[in-house]
Amino acid sequence: MDALVLDGSRGAECRDALAALHRALAEAGYTTEVIPLRERTIAPCRGCFGCWVKTAGECVIDDEGRQVARAIARCDLLVYLTPVTFGGVSFELKKVLDRMIPNISPFFARVRGETHHQRRYRKTPRVIGLGILSQPDREAERVFKTLVERNGLNLRTPCTAAAVVTPESDLGATASALVKAVA
Amino acid sequence: MTAEKRALLLVGSPRGIGHSTSDRLGSIVLDALKSRDVDTEKLHVHAAMDSPTALESALAAIGAADTVILSLPLYVDSFPAPVIAFLERIVQQRIGAGRARVFVIIQCGFPEKEQNATALAIAERFAAEAGWSWLGGVGLGAAEWQHKDVALALAPLAEAIANGTAVPQPVLRRAMPAWLYRFGGNVMWRLAARKHHATRSLRARPYDS
Ligand SMILES: Cc1cc2nc3c(=O)[nH]c(=O)nc-3n(C[C@H](O)[C@H](O)[C@H](O)COP(=O)(O)O)c2cc1C
C-alpha cells in the first residue's frame, strides 16, 4: 500500500507532525512518499477546464503539477499535511489541490443528495487531513475538518479522517488514530 | 472636509476581470456602490500575485479602501490558491486592520449554493485574523447560468455595504433544478470537447498504472 504525503508547510512548522505520520504509516505497512510542495514549481490553476475538454485527464500546464496529479491518482492513501490557514489549507497545498481536478471526471453525479462529479479512475485514494495550529482554535478546527470531509465528497474518496494538532498535542497518538481511521 | 468612501473589488478568479463570473457578480455590487457616490476600484488577485510591484500596489490600494468586496469562485471547497497567499500577506502586514470592512461573494459551479458554506467560513476566519469587520457573505450556485435574477438580488445589497452595516441575505431562487443542471451539464461537456477538438475521450485515464 502506498501513501502520499503532500507537505504544505512553508518551513519547518510541520516537521514533527511529518515524523509522527511517517512512523504511524510505516507501522501500518504503508510505503510512504513525501512531496515537500514548497520546493516544487507548480503554477496555479487557470480555470480553463482544458483538463476536462481538451487533454482529458491531464492539466494543460506542463509542469510538476502533472507529476503530483499522477502520484495522487496512483496512491492508496493521500495525506494533507498543512498549517491551518484561516481554517483551511495552506497556499502550498492548495496550489496542488486546484490542479487535481483532471483526476475526476467532468460528468456529474448525485452524491448524498448533492451534485458532484463522477470518478475518472476505478480507485480513488482515502484521504487524511492533518492540520497544524500554533494554539487551540475550536472554530478553525471545525472548519478544517469540514473542509477535508467536503473534499472527500468531491474527490469521491471512500473515506476521510482529519485532525488538528497544537504544540501540546500528542502527535504520535493522533497520527496513529488517523491512519487507523482510514484502514 | 468629508472623507470620501472608497470600495475595492478583489476578483479572485484566474479568469480575471472581464472574463469571470466572479467579476460579473462583484461588479453588480460595485456599480451599485458607485451610483451611491462611493469611489470604486477593481483589482485582479492573480495579477497582483504575479510580481512584487503589482502586489505592493494592490496592498496599497487595499490600505486606502474602507470597504473591500471579495468575489471568487469556489475551488475544491475553498479559495483558488493564489487568493490564500494574497490574504495571508494582508494579515502579515496588518493592511486595513481595525478599519477595513469586507463583504464576500462566493459562487460555485454546482447548483447547490450550500456548497459554498465551508469557503464562506474560511472567509470569515480571514476577516477575524485580519482585524477587518465582517459585513457578511453570500454563496451562489450555478451563477454562471443566472444573469437577471442575480443582478436584481445583489444590487440592493449595496445600501448596507455603503452604510457599513450587516448585509442581509439576498433572496434568490435556484438557477435550475439540480437534475436538469446535471443532465444539461453532461451534454455541454461533450459539446465543449468537440469545439476544442479534444485529443482523447473525456473519460481517458492517462495515469492508470
Ligand atoms: C480547480 C477548480 C475547482 C473547482 N471546484 C469546485 C467545487 O469544489 N465546487 C463547485 O461547485 N465548483 C467548483 N468549481 C467550478 C467553479 O467554481 C465555477 O466554474 C465558477 O463559476 C467559476 O467562476 P469564475 O468564472 O469566476 O472563475 C471549480 C473549478 C475549478 C477550475
Q: What is the pLDDT of residues A71-107, one digit of tens each?
A: 999 999 999 999 999 999 999 999 999 999 999 999 9
* Residue B74 confidence (pLDDT): 98
Q: Which three cell numbers stand for residue A139?
A: 472554530
For chain A, the C-alpha Rg in angstroms (whole number) is 16
In a 3-state reduction of DSSP, which class is residue A5?
Answer: strand
Residues of B in contact with A114 (CB under 8 A): 110, 112, 114-115, 178
Domains contained in chain A, number: 1
SS3 B194: helix
Closest residue to A86, CB basis, from B122, B196, B200: B122
pLDDT at res. A14 = 95
Q: Per-residue pLDDT tens for A44-53?
A: 999 999 999 9
Range of the domain at A164: 2-42+50-181
What SS3 state is found at B6?
strand
Minimum CA distance residue for ligand 1 atom 4: B75
> Looking at beta carbons, which residues of chain B come within 8 Å of A52?
189, 192, 202
> Does the beta carbon of B32 sit less than 6 angstroms from any atom of ligand 1?
no
Cβ–Cβ contact A88 with B under 8 A: yes
Q: What is residue B60's three-state secondary structure?
A: helix
Task: Provide the pLDDT for residue B1.
Answer: 42
- Rounded to the nearest angstrom, the minimum Cα separation between B140 and chain A is 14
Nearest CA in chain B to A70: B207
Task: Give the global pTM.
Answer: 0.97
Average predicted confidence (pLDDT) for chain A: 97
How confident is the model at residue B8, as a pLDDT? 98
Hey, what's the cell of B102?
469586507
- The DSSP bridge partners found for residue B41 are B8
Grid cell for residue B53: 510591484
Ordered per-residue pLDDT tens for chain B, 209 residues:
456 799 999 999 999 999 999 999 999 999 999 999 999 999 999 999 999 999 999 999 999 999 999 999 999 999 999 999 999 999 999 999 999 999 999 999 999 999 999 999 999 999 999 999 999 999 999 988 888 889 999 999 999 999 999 999 998 888 789 999 999 999 999 999 989 887 788 999 999 97
Chain B residues with beta carbon closer than 8 angstroms to that of A150? 77, 115, 118
Does residue B145's CB lie within 6 angstroms of at least one atom of ligand 1?
Answer: no
Q: Are B15 and B8 in contact (CB under 8 A)?
A: no
Cβ of A127 under 8 Å from any chain B Cβ?
no
For ligand 1, say whether the CB of B146 is within 6 Å of any of its atoms: no
A58 touches chain B (CB under 8 A): yes
Asked if the Cβ–Cβ distance from B206 to A58 is below 8 Å, we say: yes
What is the CATH number assigned to the segment(s) B6-176?
3.40.50.360
| Domain spans of chain B, in order of start | 6-176, 177-209
Contact B111 A115 (CB under 8 A): yes
Residue B74 CA to ligand 1 center (angstroms) comes to: 5
Question: What's the mean pLDDT in A121-130?
Answer: 97
Report how far residue B138's alpha carbon sits from residue B117's, in angstroms, rounded to the nearest whole number: 9
CB of B77 closer than 6 angstroms to any ligand 1 atom: yes
Residue B125, number of CB atoms within 10 A of its CB? 22
Question: Is B50 touching A (CB cutoff 8 A)?
Answer: no
Report the separation in Å between the CA atom of A138 and the middle of ligand 1, taken as the mean of its atom positions: 28
Q: How far is CA A148 from the centre of its chain?
A: 8
Query: What does the alpha-carbon distance between residue A3 and residue A1 come to, in Å, rounded to a whole number?
Result: 7
- A52 shares contact with chain B (CB less than 8 Å): yes
Would you state the pLDDT for residue B3? 60
Q: Is A66 on the interface with B (CB under 8 A)?
A: no
ipTM: 0.97
Domain harbouring A8, CATH code: 3.40.50.360
Q: Is A28 exposed, middle or buried (0-12, 13-18, 19+ CB in 10 A)?
A: middle
